[in-house]
A and B are shown apart, each in its own frame.
Chain A
Amino acid sequence: MSKNIGMQVVVTSVKQVADTVKCFRFVPVDGSDMVLPRFSGGSHVVVTMKGKDAAGNTVTYRNPYSLMSSPDDSSCFEISVLRTENSRGGSHFMHDQVKEGDILTISNPVNLFPVSAGGRKHIFIAGGIGITPFMAMMDALAARNGKFELHYGFRSRSHGAYWRELEERYGHSRVRTYCQAEGQMIDFGELLEHQPLGTHLYVCGPAPMIEAVKKSAREAGWPDENVHSEEFLAPPSGQPFIVKLKKSQRNIMVGEHQSILEALEAANVDANFLCRGGACGQCETAVCSADGEIEHNDHYLSKDERQSGKKIMICVSRLNGRELVLDL
């Protein structure tokens, strides 16, 4: 929801924790009576960044990042940001511009990847930066003696963040690391085959890894309800196109590296959003007509809904064509 963007925080520490990963710590702005809310493991916040593009124009970036600090610690929030190669601006801004003392705006925590409260045992499978939501989940589970194990794969020892701390904190019986550079791989089939009833499986990482884990789970006879995944989906780039707003009678250009949602925000159109990653459904928008083909990039709409061409998730999906008319 567009209301959910208004918490100001100070950056109190920026730490390089792996080759391309920085950890940021946020606390409430001095003198404000704001208290950081408690949250549940798996929650993310959307960070709003005001930067400048190559031409010197102000650009607003909004990216979702998992909270990785202890949910029981209301003194600070921590997130980790991977510097992505094809950054649309946000991750480079966080890495290159944000320093201690800066003020950022973050949303309230939202959880689209919760731990299933009734689960008897929890298996976490992380790939690379996908470790972050599990850090808060494990913290909360450990506090109430919940049973879990983490299987964490990364490219090299210097690319992987936090693996040493996690091994130390939870021990090798609960934390297994897999270093690709050393030829170690998670054997999903082996891992998923002999688990007790009531076990829940959570996977966060690159799309191919999520698909492979889901496939192994299906083959091992896991019920879909016990398999959970989160993939942070950055809005993909594409050719520019025009969005026509039927109700407000406006034409807005969506740029190559912009999402429809971002283009609307840049034009001061108030649109609903929550996750900005195609998962939550909040930004579902009715399509009046499309001159071109809609590229559905979300995880939310059903096959039928996509085929109908009547709906689009404007945070990640776009048009391959000339003009899209939305009922806004």
Chain B
Amino acid sequence: MGIQFKDETFRDSFTFKNSPQTIKRFPFPFPEDKYMYSVNIEPHVPGAKGSVYEHLFDVDEHYVSEMRDRALVLKEDPLRCQALPHMMTAQWDLLELIMECKSKSYPEHFTLEKQGDKWHWINRPLGIDDTFTFGDVSTLPYEPMEYITRQTQGDFAIMDQRDNNLWMDAGMVTTQADWSLDFDIGMNFMEWHGPVPLAHQMGVFERALKFLLNLQHGHPVRRLNWTMTINPRLDTSPENYHKWGKDRTEVTPDNVGDKVHLRVELQSLWRLPRSNAIVFPIRCYLIKMSELVTEPKWGRRFHRVLKDLPPELADYKGLTRYRDTVVEWLSKYDDGKPTSIGFGLD
């Protein structure tokens, strides 16, 4: 049986919500009752059945609606998808990676047939059935990265590796937590991490860069990152700050449960074979506070994490204005009982 795709919105009417099964598989990012940066990188290998790690490119019930939202963002602002000319080989690498993974993971939804460089791609949920020549851009309706990422949940940054650094030279970014591809394109790893507080002093980025420069094909890695978003809005971009910035002022004790969302990014990193570039998919998962507290351990733990978060981090993540209101709301779900270490449920 395939996935039942929902028809919902991430803007205006904001009808997004998670089904009970999807709440169960939410990648809750806190292994303990407090949070600090760490280079929390682990091998990106298939995980437990039903979890978001079961398949290397996870497809869930929000897929069709998320892709519709991406198309709307691109229509208003085509610069959300950009690639410098030398990234064409990497674009094809990415298209191949996603098509191969998805057709193996979800044969009921996606099919890839190859006859030499003549490829036939079927995406049933989105009603796409295309035949094209691998390596020949003129046979696709978009450039390869745009073509495949209009059909794949999550943002994508492709980094070229040269001069012992990584350069953000291509990307599809429409579901971002307040950063801009148009601003960052062409920057190197140290430059685009410039604004992150505390982590530079900790040497986090030097270590992470050293690690990534040696990332091997066939051995992708992953980590989780998190922030919070008011309303289930995927596109919280600097370009559209005027649309969503004011949402932060609208949090009240009565609407926390429905309006405030924990936003978790499942970030993975893959060496691409032909181009030696690295692709960085950033997959966003949203969960409402009212959904989160249906799992008692999550309610207790998130209350404690948010209450004790260092102010620099709260500022950087943009939580300061509504943090106290949310902590107060969550306190109803924290009876002070101990929580178990790790991600397992109590």
Contact = CB atoms under 8 A, between A and B. Distances in A.
A274 B219 contact: no
A110 interface: yes
B89 A117 contact: yes
A71 interface: yes
A253 B23 CA distance: 55
Nearest to A275: B214
A55 B219 CA distance: 38
B193 interface: no
A194 interface: no
A274 B216 CA distance: 9
Q: How large is the interface on A (under 10, 10 to 19, 20 to 34, 35 or more residues)?
A: 20 to 34
A118 interface: yes
B273 interface: yes
A114 interface: yes
B219 A111 contact: no
A282 B214 contact: yes
A117 B160 contact: yes
B214 A40 contact: no
Contacts of B275: 40, 117
Interface residues of B, number: 23
Interface string A109-120: 111001011100
B89 A38 contact: no
A173 to B, nearest CB: 24
B331 interface: no
B48 to A, nearest CB: 21
B276 to A, nearest CB: 4
A57 to B, nearest CB: 31
B218 A37 contact: yes
A38 B273 contact: yes
A225 B90 CA distance: 21
Contact of A40 (B88, B162, B219, B276): B276
Contacts of B217: 37, 39, 108-110
A225 B277 CA distance: 18
A117 B218 contact: no
A225 B214 contact: no
A1 B211 CA distance: 11
Contacts of A89: none
A280 interface: yes
Nearest to A3: B219
Contact of A280 (B88, B161, B214, B274): B214
Contacts of B216: 1, 4, 108, 110, 274
Contacts of B118: none
B89 A114 contact: no
A4 B216 CA distance: 8
B163 A1 contact: no
B211 to A, nearest CB: 9
Interface of B: 84, 86-90, 93, 160-163, 210, 213-214, 216-219, 273-277
